[in-house]
Amino acid sequence: MNILTEKFSTPYHSAPFNEIKNEDYLPAFKELITNSEAEIDAIINNSEEPTFENVIEALAFSGEQLDRASNIFFNLNSAETSDELQQIAQEVSPILTEYSSKISQNEALFNKIKKVYDEREKYNLNEEQQMLLNETYKGFVRSGALLNEEDKEKLKKISMDLSLKSLRFGQNVLASTNNYFKYITNREDLAGIPEAILEQYAEEAKERTLEGWVVTLQYPSYIPFMTYAENRELRKEIALANGKKSFDGGEFDNQNLIKELLTLKQQKAELLGYKNYADYVLEERMAKSPTKVIDFLNELLIKAKPYAEKEIEELKALAKTDGIDEMHGYDHAFYAEKLRKAKYDLNDEELKPYFPLEQVQEAVFGLSKQLFGLTFVERNDIPKYHEDVKVYEVKENGEYKSLLYVDYFPRKGKRAGAWMTSYKNQYQKDGENSRPHISIVCNFNKPTKDTPSLLTFQEVTTLFHEFGHALHGMLANTQYPNLSGTSVKWDFVELPSQFLENFCYEPEFLKTFAKHYKTGEVLPDEKIEKIAQSKNFMEGYQTLRQIGFGLLDMNYHSKVAELEGLSVKEFEDNYTKATQLYPVNPETAMSPSFSHIFQGGYSAGYYSYKWAEVLDADAFQYFKETGIFNAETAAKFKVLLSSGGTKDPMELYKNFRGSEPKVESLLKRAFG
């Protein structure tokens, strides 16, 4: 018996992590693909007249067990991977890509879908059913259903190549990150670094059976070093290593892979009748076209750049007092922290004791109860994939609503960053509302023998950000799994996450949880006031940075022909030039480790962070107008969250806000 092919007998049919073995995956995928293909065959071979129910709905509910196995496997490959899992991923990815191509290019199935779509006027469909029908039909067309057989084969091969190459891109970045560490034996080289961080570096050294301190390129190690280390030469050395990730010409170099990935995406777009990959992607976004995105980013660039330049001038003046005539990127975090401390008398290490992880988690749980009526109860009887993971049963009015997995600490087999994901979608079928299983994964400092996990304020906002995504998943209340939760237009998906971050800067809310882990003392009012004031600290710089990433992404995916005569580095420099505020280092490039667009789902979509900021600034402005805990406003926002992809996002937003979002809300919040 293969555990992955059976109905799970765990509480709420949760993933039986404790029983899954690596050798289960490949045979399970093969068996579940066969089962899913049988479900598709049953739809095709049904002799009855094609209807919405026996074609569109039947297809929406097919392959559930396969989806669950895929979610388990690929989530673990990000959060708890191993050489063996990565090898399995290389074998599994092409099989799954072939399976999905087989369905999306199945002529007999598409003919039935097209018949229902062409005759849609005769069905009395509600809004969600119409959306499902439109999305299903469009999804098949965008996957090549209208192509001839030869082009279908070409598309299938391109999709398989893309799947494998993007997987390899991520593996190279992880390997390149893990391969580097800086071993330090002289305590003086660590001047300026707070004790808690030194303790972390000493623990890292001990794990490697070394005496002294070890700094890695994992964010909880790298960022504090760049922020506090007084040794400029070491900052430069470690920043250089970070900037060379997968860009050093070695075994894990991604430069050729980038060109291969972009060429394949361009070929796919042209095959499907689009000018470029950005056009293909943006057809399914709120923004609609590359021109609109580039105009949006350039409008923000014009407005933000003077603020950014003013901020950098202030930092340069500070660096000059240390005898530095030319600042570089590796100086930024160090002097920004100095300036922030001087301006607001705030530094991360001083604030961290007031933000123990468990307290911050309780705060976000409490906010979810106040706004949306959710409560969280830890469950110790639900299997988990690592001892660091905790599982909560989420309830609404005492009724089971969702499971929430939280995984907070870095490990060797875990990729960097923070993300929300799902192990099981929500849907309604046969009178039952099948609830979702949601997961949040972060990389915060582990607790030590004497100290709990203490978060920087930025990490506090990261937790709120991912929890916003989690709420989108947990509150889902739609009929079909493929319209549920975060299954929305990509440039709408960041609204809930960025919206929730706003609460971290509200003094009345901060006071409820910013308490010293030893004494219980509330963070003093003047510090809380300064956190609120510091919200827009370096906002110009951060905005330009995000715009640079967005422009680079959009140009990669709309001007791939230009890349033929250029190196990845040259292309990157060309399209980020207008947003650069420091000298560009010829030895570093960020593209080869830009996993968001070359491994994740942000290809031609990185702009959506800024796009969603307009939405979140406008939405939170509404909350501020009515009161940040206003029950009526929260109830309207809950409707937006629970609706998933059942309506056009702009319609959902207008139903909540009463009008379209205004870019002025963002500019007002950012620059006053």
Query: What average pLDDT score do residues 600-626 get?
Result: 92
Neighbours of 477 (CB within 10 A): 20
User: Are 216 and 363 in the same domain?
Assistant: no
Catalytic residue check, 466: yes
pLDDT at 97: 87
User: Are 481 and 369 in the same domain?
Assistant: yes
Indicate which CATH number applies to the domain containing 117: 1.20.1050.40
User: Are 126 and 189 in the same domain?
Assistant: no
Whether 295 maps to a domain, the answer reads no
What are the tens digits of pLDDT across the range 494-514? 899 999 999 999 999 999 999
Whether 364 maps to a domain, the answer reads yes
Per-residue confidence at 541, pLDDT binned at 50, 70, 90? Answer: very high
What are the tens digits of pLDDT across the range 50-105? 999 999 999 999 999 999 999 999 999 999 999 999 999 999 998 998 898 889 88
What are the tens digits of pLDDT across the range 196-241? 899 999 999 999 999 999 999 999 899 999 999 999 999 999 999 9
User: Are 110 and 209 in the same domain?
Assistant: no
pLDDT at 491: 83
pLDDT over 90 (residue 449): no
What residue has token string 């849609």?
Answer: 120
User: E strands of 149-192, at which residues?
Assistant: 181-184
> Over 118-160, what HEC string results?
HCHHHCCCCHHHHHHHHHHHHHHHHCCCCCCHHHHHHHHHHHH
Q: What does pLDDT average to over the chain?
A: 95
User: Are 129 and 205 in the same domain?
Assistant: no
Whether 47 maps to a domain, the answer reads yes
User: Are 400 and 497 in the same domain?
Assistant: yes
The one-letter amino acid at 500 = L
Whether 82 maps to a domain, the answer reads yes
Whether 74 maps to a domain, the answer reads yes
User: Are 510 and 384 in the same domain?
Assistant: yes
Query: What average pLDDT score do residues 5-27 get?
Result: 96
Q: Are 155 and 97 in contact (CB under 8 A)?
A: no
User: Are 133 and 221 in the same domain?
Assistant: no
pLDDT at 344: 87
User: Are 137 and 206 in the same domain?
Assistant: no
- Return d(Cα 611, Cα 354) in angstroms, integer: 32
User: Are 404 and 453 in the same domain?
Assistant: yes
- Of the candidates 419, 365, 399, the one whose C-alpha atom is nearest the C-alpha of residue 595 is 419
Q: Are 461 and 485 in contact (CB under 8 A)?
A: no
* Coil, strand or helix at 423: strand
Last residue of a domain, one of 243, 262, 281: 243
- Of the candidates 43, 45, 84, the one whose C-alpha atom is nearest the C-alpha of residue 63 is 43
Q: How far apart are the first and last CA of the chain?
A: 63
Integer CA distances (angstroms), 275 to 270, 421, 553, in order: 6, 32, 16
Last residue of a domain, one of 192, 216, 243: 243
Per-residue confidence at 593, pLDDT binned at 50, 70, 90? Answer: very high
What are the tens digits of pLDDT across the range 105-119? 899 999 999 999 999
pLDDT at 278: 98
Whether 559 maps to a domain, the answer reads no
What number of residues does the chain have?
672
**String of DSSP letters for 346-415:** --HHHHGGG-BHHHHHHHHHHHHHHHH-EEEEE-SSS--SSTT-EEEEEEETTEEEEEEEEE-S--TTS-
What are the tens digits of pLDDT across the range 457-488? 999 999 999 999 999 999 999 999 999 999 99
pLDDT at 569: 98
Lowest mean pLDDT among 21-35, 89-103, 112-126, 386-400: 89-103
Q: Which of 80, 466, 539, 572 is catalytic?
A: 466
User: Are 523 and 386 in the same domain?
Assistant: yes
Q: What's the token pair of residue 668?
A: 């007002």
Last residue of a domain, one of 471, 505, 537: 537
Strands 390-396 and 399-407: antiparallel
Whether 90 maps to a domain, the answer reads yes
Count structural domains, the chain: 3
What are the tens digits of pLDDT across the range 324-354? 999 999 999 999 999 998 888 888 888 999 9
Q: Which domain holds residue 416?
A: 353-537
pLDDT at 667: 84
Q: To which H or E segment does residue 434 belong? A: strand 432-434
Q: Give CA 182 to chain center in angstroms.
A: 28
pLDDT over 80 (residue 672): no
User: What pTM, to 2 d.p., does this model score?
Assistant: 0.81
What are the tens digits of pLDDT across the range 403-431? 999 999 999 899 888 999 999 999 999 99
Whether 219 maps to a domain, the answer reads yes
User: Are 502 and 399 in the same domain?
Assistant: yes
